Amino acid sequence: MTANKPIRRLPAEWEAQSAVQLTFPHAGTDWADILPEVLPCFLQIAQTIARFQRVLIVCDDTSETGELLKQYDIPNCVLAKVPSNDTWARDHGGVTIEEDGQFVMLDFVFNGWGLKFPADKDNLITRHLYNIGVFEAGIRHGGIVLEGGALESDGQGTLLTTTECLLSPNRNPHLSKEEIEEYLKDIFGLQRILWLNHGYLAGDDTDSHIDTLARFCTADTIAYVKCTDAGDDHFEALQKMERELQSFRTIDGQAYHLVPLPWPDACYDEEGHRLPATYANFLIINGAVLVPTYQVPQDEAALDVFRGIFPNHEIIGIDCRPLILQHGSLHCVTMQYPSGVMGL
């Protein structure tokens, strides 16, 4: 006889959380040249989250980081000294599932977004945190290369993702689309996967992570990036993405409530390279939604859109212009853990 198959579920981001992880920049990361500019951004994110729940801070130096937290008067933090290559906790953090009513942390392989960047230290962070007692939930290897930024769950068996990322040849070249889909359905307890074949952001290193493009806000609401400038290089691809979203149906066969997000003015670095500014990279926490802003005229309109989507949450803008200098934003530097996962 075979054992009963476990009942699994991938929680939605809006479910109750115990903590959010941040992996702080240090002199050994790509942030070295602009640490004075980017550290206040991380501290503001930590300070804001700490008003609502615990913050797990992975850092290179606990004493130095602890002093910064005191200076900014940030309570409710757990510090963990763990080596890191970079700061993108969304992608090197553990992905939590519910299995037979218990939380389990899945520790997927993180290979620097398809071997683009060094990730030998980042790939070990989740296991290291578990070994030092940070997590109360059990832990298991995820079995494939996968990043949290590639996953959008409605908590009810639907996953939204992109073919550009999950079918990248430098992630899991031994698996076909059908094999990846079958694996994800099994490990996450999914009923179905909604694949986006179109949509991208210039300057994005992730091969079109879904959390830069389209996000579940409720089980039947998706907020997405909409380009309204026909002269912009993104216009055609994002128009095609919008049509794909319009064709999707909920598990009950209804059209999704689609909420377009404002298209921010183009942002560039000092060399003139376009940066991946997107309002889709928001973070839902207990009682609040943190929205990235970019010092552009569309920021306030974006905050207004989120007030409409989340009327029972406090909507808080965070200036993430420093973050996009390294081609990510607010959601990319955070990873939430459901209530009951943290052990410290």
Tens-digit pLDDT profile for the chain (344 aa)? 456 889 999 999 999 999 999 999 999 999 999 999 999 999 999 999 999 999 999 999 999 999 999 999 999 999 999 999 999 999 999 999 999 999 999 999 999 999 999 999 999 999 999 999 999 999 999 999 999 999 999 999 999 999 999 999 999 999 999 999 999 999 999 999 999 999 999 999 999 999 999 999 999 999 999 999 999 999 999 999 999 999 999 999 999 999 999 999 999 999 999 999 999 999 999 999 999 999 999 999 999 999 999 999 999 999 999 999 999 999 999 999 999 999 77
Residue 45 lies in a domain: yes
What is the rounded distance in angstroms from the CA atom of residue 333 to the CA atom of residue 329?
7
Residue 2 lies in a domain: no
- H/E segment holding residue 319: strand 314-319
What is the rounded distance in angstroms from the CA atom of residue 312 to the CA atom of residue 113?
35
Residue 126 lies in a domain: yes
pTM beyond 0.75: yes
Residue 3 lies in a domain: no
CA distances from 175 to 168, 171, 179, 182 (A): 10, 9, 6, 10
Residue 172 lies in a domain: yes
Residue 343 lies in a domain: no
Q: In sequence order, what are the residues at sequence separation of 6 or more whose Cβ sits closer than 8 angstroms to the Cβ of residue 208?
A: 162, 164, 165, 196, 199, 200, 201
Residue 161 lies in a domain: yes
For residue 301, give its domain range. Answer: 8-338
Residue 131 lies in a domain: yes
First to last CA, the chain: 40
Rounded to 10 deg, the angle between the 35-50 and 62-71 helix axes is 70
- H/E segment holding residue 296: none
Tokens of 45: 């994110």
At CA 135, angle to CA 154 and CA 24, rounded to 5? 85
Phi, psi (degrees; rounded to nearest 5) at 6: -65, 150
DSSP E strand boundaries for 75-121? 77-81, 95-99, 102-109
Tokens of 167: 């079918």
Number of domains in the chain: 1
Tokens of 125: 């962070």
Q: Residue 144: which CATH number?
A: 3.75.10.10
